[in-house]
Amino acid sequence: MMPRVCRLICLAPMLIGLAGCGEASTSQAVTGTVSYQGSPLTNGALAFYPAEGRPIQAAIQSDGAYEADLPPGEYRVTVIVGVDLPPGWKDGDPLPPPSVKLPPAYTSRVRTPLVANVSAAQAEPVDFTL
C-alpha cells in the first residue's frame, strides 16, 4: 500500500504540470507609427476597440512608435493626445492644452475612420497617418 501512495505523491506534480495553467496566449505583437500632418505624434496613446470586450491601450513613444499585444480581429482605433507638463507642474495645477489638436473624428469611438485588422501571423506594421 505504501508504494502506491508514494507513486501517487510522486506523480501528482507531473500531472499538475501537464494540465497547465490555462490556455496559451493568442495575442499578436502589433507595432507601427502614428503621424499627424506629416510629423510623428510624440505623446499620447491609441485605444484599440474590439467588437466585444474591453479596449486595449498602447502608449505612443516620442518618435511616434507604438507596440500592442492584440488578439486577432478587427479593431476600431482612437487616438488619445497627451500633454507636455511644464517644469515644476504639480498635482492640482491646471493641465496645459495638448500641443496637437486632432479633428474630433480621431478621438471618437463611434466616428473614427481608423481601423486595424490583426491576423494571427501579423508581421506588417499597422501605421496610422492622420
Phi/psi zone of residue 20: left (φ > 0), alpha (ψ -120 to 50 degrees), beta? left
**What does the pLDDT read at residue 29?**
93
**What does the pLDDT read at residue 73?**
94
More confident residue, 45 or 11: 45
CA separation for the pair 122, 2 (Å, rounded): 54
CA separation for the pair 74, 114 (Å, rounded): 11
Cell numbers placing 50: 474590439
30 touches 74 (CB < 8 A)? no
Phi/psi zone of residue 77: left (φ > 0), alpha (ψ -120 to 50 degrees), beta? beta
CA separation for the pair 58, 87 (Å, rounded): 25
CATH architecture under which domain 26-123 falls: Sandwich (2.60)
Task: Give pLDDT tens digits for 75-119.
Answer: 999 999 988 888 988 888 888 888 888 999 999 999 999 999 999
CA separation for the pair 115, 33 (Å, rounded): 14
Cell numbers placing 56: 486595449
CA separation for the pair 67, 69 (Å, rounded): 7
